Amino acid sequence: MTSSWLKQVRFDSNGLIPAIAQDHLTGKILMVAWMNAESLAQTVASQRAVYWSRSRQRLWRKGEESGHHQSVKDIRLDCDADVILLTIEQHGDIACHTGRNSCFYQRLNTDGDTPTWEITEPVLKDPDSIYS
């Protein structure tokens, strides 16, 4: 039986909801992923982030390959009940598969005639050494 709190979440037609992972100390947005009811319920039960991988079509326990897991400090639901905000502690300081702290490492530079994306964060660890 589905828990009453889970019934209040508005999943999309594919049974998914976007989930934002935010560092609990700095407030920095580290990544956005997707959750289904099962991954959200497992996240609540384990207090570790579990997402739904759209590319692999399976549950994805953050850090299962890289070791860079996320401990969940707080879970919030937005006013429309269609976005989840996870306040997390990022273990290993790498949330992005590119080896960076955040997936949001590119900033649009509009100083010149033509806007360009600039990289604002260094690679902390070579992704080839993280994923085998």
Q: Which residue has the tokens 């828990």?
A: 3
Neighbouring C-beta atoms of residue 83, cutoff 10 Å: 16
CA pair distance 36, 11, nearest whole angstrom: 7
CA distance 110 to 128: 32
CA distances from 67 to 61, 64, 70, 79, 131 (A): 10, 6, 9, 33, 10
Instruction: Kindly report, residue by residue over 3-58, the tens digit of the pLDDT.
Output: 899 999 999 999 999 999 999 999 999 999 999 999 999 999 999 999 999 999 99
Question: What are the extents of the domains in the chain?
Answer: 4-99
Alpha carbons 57 and 68: distance in angstroms, whole number = 21
In 3D space, the residue among 16, 33, 5, 52 whose CA is nearest the CA of residue 90 turns out to be 33
- Return the sign of the alpha-carbon dihedral for residues 86, 87, 89, 95: positive
Does the domain at residues 4-99 carry the CATH identifier 1.10.1670.10?
no
**What are the tens digits of pLDDT across the range 71-128?**
999 999 999 999 999 999 999 999 999 999 999 999 999 999 999 999 999 999 999 8
